[in-house]
Amino acid sequence: MRTEFKLPELGENVTSGTVGKLLVAVGDVITAGQNVLEIETDKAVAEIPCPTAGKVVEIRAKEGAKMNSGDVVLVLEASSAPASSPEPAAPPAPAKRDETSATVQAPRPEKTQPPAKRLGTVRAAPSVRRLAREQDVDLNEVPVKDPGGKATAQDILAFVAARKTAEQPTTAAETAPAQDAAAWTNGEGTSVEQDKWGVVVHEAMNTIRVRTAERLGESWRNIPHVTHFDKADITGLEALRKECARKADKKGARLTAMAFILKAVPEALKRFPRFNASVDMENRHLLLKQYYHIGFAVDTPNGLVVPVLRDADKKTVLEIALEMAALARKARDRKLTLEEMQGGTFTISNLGGLGGSGFTPIINAPEAAILGLSRSQTEPVYNGQEFVPRLLLPMSLSYDHRIIDGADAARFLRFLAEAIEQPWHLMLGL
């Protein structure tokens, strides 16, 4: 018996995505829950598992193609079913690996054909297809070096450079200024002229980096950012953390200052609700959220991702520490689901482990603010009689100036600093 596996719901307000990579091939026998493809959305990249076990007899998803929730990804045959009926179709199986149904899209090239790189639809990652569109390049015209026929960014850039060289003799004098202008873009295009000044190595951006660039670029262009700086005295917090760390370890939690700070943030958001809001300029409304889902940036080998810790105001410091560690582990292993990266109301970016005394974090739209943390330093602080050493934490608060004024930003950050400076109040819920 054959079963169709359809693309499931991808998350809140996400109905479609781009197939980034197929993880199975025709003929593979998969188990229930095995990941079968990667889907790229505006939010993230996620591996999609198939809940049914069986043998893959048809793949309708294509790398680089857009799919909607409910579209058929692949067709399975129950692994326990007799193999006699489908066997006659076995000889053309190699070509079937890259075929699609006639009702879906044009077939991709068969891997058995030597000139596959120039026939049918050229295989390429979404970022490479985007580069081809930006450079007005037909992928079918690009010489592909990969033996498997998959186009790369280097192939496209080499093709564009060759095309420009061929066109240059008749228009060089007239087009030089225009080419110089095109060589530096606003981030939307890609320049290939930089190599005339020296050797340039072209490195293709991975999917997470592309999504990060697009989202942060959009946020920076659309939101008037202002950043306010302050410092919190975390001498007492660090002493309390060390005192509780051993007991927390016995419960499987690595207690960090970040857990205390994440516990304090919802209290500041309740006191200053505009920092927990979104702006709807079309209807001229503020969306004041009555829940406190805090995102925290995690640096992974594949790029920056932001898992979301839900209902942080309802959790203890120990619970927050445990959940943060679990989410960070999933982020580094690329096991986060889309839902675990959605619904945040405020974000924290912690660079304390790397260094620096301050930075300007970019707001994670549609949120209204983001908190940046830098490395704490022991500094002399005058207490009215003498200078004493205190451990100070630099904090950087970027906020949407359309809905938040500078005075409120100063009040918010000072309230948060004072909450962190009295960690026992956090522990007792005061």
Mean pLDDT by 10 residues, the chain (430 residues): 88 76 91 89 76 93 88 85 42 43 39 39 70 80 77 80 66 44 47 74 80 88 97 95 90 91 96 97 94 95 89 95 94 86 95 91 96 97 95 98 97 97 74
pLDDT of the residue at 402: 96
**Is the pTM above the cut of 0.75?**
no
Nearest CA to 277 among 295, 290, 264?
Answer: 290
The distance of Cα 315 from the centroid of its chain, to the nearest Å, equals: 26
Helix (H) or strand (E) holding 380: strand 377-382
> How far apart, in whole angstroms, are the C-alpha atoms of residue 104 and residue 124?
18
In DSSP notation, 170-189 reads HHHHHHHHHHHHHHS-SSSS
pLDDT of the residue at 1: 84
pLDDT of the residue at 99: 40
Contact 361/372 with Cβ under 8 angstroms? Answer: yes
Q: Is 293 a catalytic residue?
A: no
Catalytic residue among 202, 225, 228, 401: 401
pLDDT of the residue at 82: 42
pLDDT of the residue at 115: 38
- Domains of the chain from N-terminus onward: 2-108 (2.40.50.100), 116-204 (4.10.320.10), 225-428 (3.30.559.10)
Helical axes 235-250 vs 406-421, angle rounded to 10°: 60
Q: Indicate the pairing of strand 123-124 with strand 150-151.
A: parallel
Task: Go through 299-313 and write b for each residue having 16 or more CB atoms within 10 A of its CB, e for each that does not.
Answer: beeebebbbbbbebe
